[in-house]
Structures are given as structure tokens and as C-alpha cells.
């Protein structure tokens, strides 16, 4: 199973996701796609199997991903302080992969009913749901 993690800014969420997925020993290929090189580097240092940076890698990775994990902003153009382009958001939104979107209520995108959870609890829940998907 191919799992693509998309993150930007400093890559902290992506780094935590990679670490927790690796710790959970979920049998998957873990691809890190950063919207910038700092985010990509953080995810690779955390143990991602491969990584790339920028708009085109997001588009290409979405073509054959089974699961995409990242902040909810990856489906909205101009999110992550402008790091998500319209082409990136479209690629993520339109691909057939299951999307595990963490409801980080920033960038004027608020998911009602999610409450204020810590990054750690959001990542733990995403990893739990990924495990369910992979081990079905």
C-alpha cells in the first residue's frame, strides 16, 4: 500500500506522522511530499521511504497513492500560508486515494465539531485510522 504524506511549513505534522506510522509498523510504502524543502527534509529524517518537494511531486504522487495523509488545508488552494497551489489542491481532491485529513483549524478553515485537539492527538488518531485501512 502506498501512503503519501503531504505537509508544508516546517513539516512538523508530517514528521510526527512518519514517526508514528513507522513506530506502529504499518506495512506500507511511506512517501513524503513537502511543499518546501524544509518540510520534505523533516519527513525524510523521520524515516519516510522516499521524498520530493513541490507542486509537481504532489500531482505525480496523487496518481497512484492508496492513502493521502496531511492537514485539511491540502485540499484548499492558498492554504498553508499560500504553499498549496490550486493544482496541488485539485490533484489531492480529485485523486481516488482515501484521504486522512487532520483538522488543523488554521488559515481560516475551521472544521466544526472537531474541538481543540493537540497535534499529538490528531496524529495518533490518523495513525489509528491508517492502520485500520491497511490491515483490512
Report pLDDT digits (tens) over 84-111. Answer: 999 999 999 999 999 999 987 666 666 7
CB 10 within 8 A of CB 45: no
Closest C-alpha to 73, from 113, 97, 44, 108:
108
Residues in contact with 32: Cβ distance below 8 Å, sequence separation at least 6, in sequence order: 5, 7, 14, 18, 40, 43, 44, 48, 50, 51, 52
CA 46 to chain centre: 14
* Whole-structure pTM value: 0.90
Q: Record the cell numbers describing residue 105, joined without a space.
A: 483549524
pLDDT in tens, 12-30: 999 999 999 999 999 999 9
Amino acid at each position: 500500500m502506498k501512503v503519501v504524506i503531504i505537509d508544508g511549513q516546517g513539516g512538523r505534522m508530517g514528521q510526527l506522522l512518519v514517526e508514528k506510522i513507522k513506530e506502529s509498523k504499518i506495512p506500507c510504502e511511506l512517501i513524503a511530499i513537502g511543499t518546501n524543502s524544509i518540510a520534505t527534509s523533516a519527513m525524510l529524517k523521520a524515516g519516510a521511504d522516499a521524498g520530493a518537494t513541490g507542486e509537481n511531486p504532489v500531482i505525480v504522487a496523487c496518481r497512484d497513492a492508496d492513502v493521502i495523509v496531511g492537514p485539511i488545508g491540502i485540499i484548499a488552494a492558498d492554504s498553508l500560508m499560500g504553499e498549496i497551489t490550486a493544482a496541488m489542491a485539485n490533484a489531492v481532491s480529485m485523486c481516488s486515494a482515501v484521504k486522512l485529513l487532520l483538522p488543523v483549524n488554521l488559515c481560516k478553515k475551521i472544521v466544526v465539531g472537531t474541538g481543540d485537539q493537540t497535534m499529538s492527538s490528531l496524529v495518533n488518531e490518523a495513525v489509528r485510522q491508517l492502520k485500520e485501512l491497511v490491515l483490512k
